[in-house]
Structure 1
Amino acid sequence: MTQSHAPPLPSPEERRRLREAKSLSQADVADKMGVTRETVRSWETGRTTPRGSKREAYVELLTAQDPATTSAEIEDRTGVEAEAEAEVTARQEPYTEAEADPSVEAEAEAEADSDEEPAPPPPALTPPQAFDALYAFCTPALVRQTYLLTGRRELARESVERAFQLAWHRWPEVAVDRDPAGWVRATAYEYALSPWHRLRPRHRHPEAPPADAADRALLDVFLKLPPMYRRTLLLYDGVGLDLPETAAETEASTPAAANRLLHAREAVAERLPELAAPDELHRRLTVLAATERLRAAKPRSVRYGSEHRARTWTRAAIAFTVLLIGATSLTLRTAPDHYEPPMAPGATIRGVPPRAASGPLSDEQLELHAFLKSQTVSGPERLVPEAR
């Protein structure tokens, strides 16, 4: 019996493009295939590939509703075309932070079906390599998102760098977090929206607005929203989080996050009626963020800055502790070791005659004074009383 060849499987980028072209979510594909959502995500990221009957059903699901795309066309796609299409997709849509989470990847591989052919495990990364990978994955989009929150390019770069410096300082905690990219994003948002930036001298001078008039109008309307409304709208319509995740990241209940989102959309639609549709608002936010060429520092510089900052604060804490110990020791050394009762206040003594003041000399005193003065003129002889 001759075994038939397995149908050609699209590349990981092509799998995601075909799914989105049919308006299917990963959950929809998982329901149709009878697998978990993490399994579909692992198929689209290239970590695992389906085989057997699931492979045939997966290829048929991706190509059946798209007559213009056949299996032969998918097989003939060059690597350059796939890479260009992936880059366009990445520029048009916000990234999915869950793909950078190592715990989600491990869970997806553990829950993968027995019909799947697991890809070879990647080599273990050192902490600096894992940090650099997370930094390279999140920074481009995160800097643009922070710019939308603040309207300031330098503050956006500084917020992202400070967030990653804190992440490197607490890397053992961040590395095992369920969503490391979300942890860094929340930290960058908190730093960017801090009201203390208003006290900085350079914050008093506005930066140059975008060159396009439509982009300037959208950024002006967006920055006039309250900070929490702005953050909720960006997370939901810009990044693409669902409502519970948006509420959790903004530390609000789901109804409160929904109200903020509705009020923010109404405020934007009131000033810009053409952005009343959420899809159009999402597209315009993406275009506005992509027009700014915002570059952050290298990951090595961020790691060095984090370590230098940690050393500085450690030395300052040690110096303060030594100063406190010295002041305490000096106080113990100079403080009295026994009780000394205070002196009683003075009391007025009555019955003592007042002291008389000196008055003019009498004739006898004047004569005696002149005699004594004349006797000491010739020298320092000793005076000897004479009888008279």
Structure 2
Amino acid sequence: MTQRPATPPPVRAGESGRTSPRGRKREAYAKQPVSLTKADKVTNTQEAAPRPQVTVCPTKGSRPHPPTASPTTSATTSASAPSPLTPAQAFDALYAFCAPALVRQAYLLCGRRELARESVERAFQLAWQRWPEVAVDRDPAGWVRATAYEYALSPWHRFRPCFRHPEPPPPDASDRALLDVLLTLPAPYRRTLLLYDGVGLDLPETAAETEASTPAAANRLLHAREAIAARLPELANPAELHRRLTEVASAGRLRAAKPPTVRVGGERRACFWTRAAIAFTVAIIGATALTVCTAPTRYEPPVPPGEKVQGVPPRAAPGPLSNAELNLRAKLRAQTAPGPERLLPQAR
């Protein structure tokens, strides 16, 4: 607590200059040496600044003039007032505070280093896109943490070609055993255990972040602890489990990207998807316009299928030639057909 120097009580008119016992105690207390911390020194320095002077007129019954602030006081007040942060500076501060721990937590959830970094980056990119909403949130760190957890636990990552093969496990045998036990737990149990025993949230806060009731979150936590204690009996104590979770998360070399890189990546991703949405909308409009232009303007009934007509004799095919027909054909081929002589062009 800041200790202010005591001031002697004012002497009223008609009284002597003697000091009362309470005043003597205050003077003795003011003369005692007081050890000040750095914050107290700053506070006392601000209090020791020159105060506005009050001019008293010697005429009887006159009132003092209103105090006027000196230029030194106004300059000190303006210099001590903190300047507001820009959105980029506030985002960078939140990222620097939360990103390293979130990467380690996401690694315990999914067991993949690259997926953990990607989850945190995507969560902060989404936070930067919705920064007006995140900035006024009651818990911005919790908002980003919930988004990163949802992305890390998404079941669609198993279909990605880069995540089909497992990553190399931690070098320590105890770390590998604990990570294997964590990855065998269901995703809701794993998330509840990490929030309660790893992050240190209360049970109602854990239930709210996992979108479950408080009894359901408590049952998940108990079942997760029982599963871990069944395979690793030395981790039956919650304090020891918390220490081991911290050690496993800190053992891997997990580094987050720089805040400007995340912000630029988020802006590029938002720009890409905006352009893709515009292109898709234009394609739909063009296909609709082409359909409207080429579609028929009146109803054309379909042509009914053909029906077989009964009572018509089938068309007879030509049969073999008789002897007389063969002789006649030979005679016609042998004789030259009569006709006009062949005309030939002649030059004049």
Alpha-carbon distance in structure 2 between the residues aligned to 1:322 and 1:347: 48
The one of 279, 282, 296 aligned to 1:319: 279
SS of residue paired to 2:170: coil
Are the structure 2 counterparts of residues 350 and 273 from structure 1 closer, same or farther at C-alpha, using a change threshold of 3 Å?
A: closer
Give, in whole Å, the separation in 2 of the partners of 1:228 and 1:6. 59
Against the structure 1 CA distance between its residues 353 and 199, is the aligned structure 2 distance closer, same or farther, given a 3 Å change threshold?
Answer: closer
Work out the CA distance in 2 between the residues paired with 1:7 and 1:373.
Answer: 148
**1:203 paired residue number:** 163
Change (3 A) 1:9 1:217: farther
What is the aligned partner in structure 2 of residue 172 from structure 1? Answer: 132
1:192 and 2:158 matched = no
2:205 aligned residue: 245
Partner of 2:93, secondary structure, is: helix
Partner of 2:264: 304
Letter aligned with residue 195 of structure 2: L
Match of 1:230 in 2: 190
Deviates more, 1:296-305 or 1:246-255: 296-305
The structure 1 residue matched to 2:219, chosen from 259, 279, 284, is 259
Report the alpha carbon displacement of residue 158 of structure 1 after superposing the two structures with TM: 0.7
State the shift of 1:365 in Å: 6.7
C-alpha distance in 2, partners of 1:11/1:254? 45
Cα displacement (A) at 1:212: 2.2
Please give the alpha-carbon distance, in whole angstroms, between the structure 2 residues aligned to 1:309 and 1:176: 24
Residue in structure 1 matched with residue 114 of structure 2 by the alignment: 154
Sort the Cα spacing of 1:358 and 1:379 in 2 relative to 1 into closer, same or farther, 3 A: farther
**Which residue type is aligned with residue 175 of structure 1?**
A
- Cα shift at 1:370: 5.4
User: 2:335 matched to 1:375?
Assistant: no
Partner of 1:213: 173
Q: Equivalent residue for 2:83?
A: 123
Q: Which amino acid aligns with 1:125?
A: L
**Aligned-partner Cα distance in 2 for 1:168–1:238:** 26
Shift of the alpha carbon at 1:267? 1.4
In structure 1, distance between residues paired with 2:151 and 2:139 = 19
Structure 2, unaligned stretches of length 5 or more? 1-7, 9-26, 44-79
TM-score (norm. length: structure 1): 0.64
> What's the counterpart of residue 30 of structure 1?
none
- Specify the code of the residue in structure 1 equivalent to 2:84: A
Does 2:293 match 1:333?
Answer: yes
Gap change, CA 1:156 and 1:367, over 3 Å in 2 = closer
CA shift, 1:261, in A, is: 0.7
Over residues 157-213 of structure 1, what are the superposed CA-to-partner deviations in whole Å (9 max), with x where a residue is unaligned? Answer: 111011111111111111111111101100110111111111122323222222222
Write the distance in 1 (CA, Å) between the matches of 2:81 and 2:313. Answer: 111
Instruction: Give the equivalent residue in structure 1 for 2:142.
Output: 182
| Letter of the structure 2 residue corresponding to residue 375 of structure 1 | P
Kindly provide the amino acid, as one letter, of the partner of residue 310 in structure 1.
Answer: A
Corresponding position: 1:295 with 2:255: yes
Change (3 A) 1:339 1:368: farther
RMSD (Å), alpha carbons: 3.0
Q: Which amino acid aligns with 1:379?
A: R
Tell me which amino acid in the other structure corresponds to 2:274: T
Output the CA distance in 2 between the equivalents of 1:230 and 1:326.
49
Letter in 1 for 2:226: E
User: Shift of residue 285 of structure 1?
Assistant: 1.2
What displacement does 1:344 show? 4.5
Cα distance change on mapping 1:285 and 1:9 into 2, 3 Å: farther
Classify 1:209/1:357 alpha carbon distance in 2 versus 1 (closer, same or farther; 3 Å).
closer
In terms of fraction of residues, the more helix-rich structure is 1
1:201-226 Cα offsets, whole Å, 9 max, x none, are 23232222222222222222222221
- Matched letter for residue 338 of structure 1: R
Cα distance in structure 1, aligned partners of 2:334 and 2:161: 88
Instruction: Quote the offset at 1:288 in angstroms.
Output: 1.9
Q: How many Å separate the matches in 1 of 2:228 and 2:283?
A: 55
Amino acid of the residue matched to residue 338 of structure 2? Q
| TM-score, scaled to structure 2 | 0.71
Output the CA distance in 1 between the equivalents of 2:302 and 2:216.
66
- 1:273 aligns to 2:273 (yes or no): no
Q: Decide which moves more: 274-283 or 245-254.
A: 274-283
Distance in structure 2 (CA, Å) of the matches to 1:196 and 1:203: 10
Aligned-pair distance for 1:121? Answer: 5.0
* Alpha-carbon distance between aligned partners in 1 of 2:37 and 2:240, rounded to the nearest angstrom: 30
Range with bigger deviation, 192-201 or 366-375 = 366-375
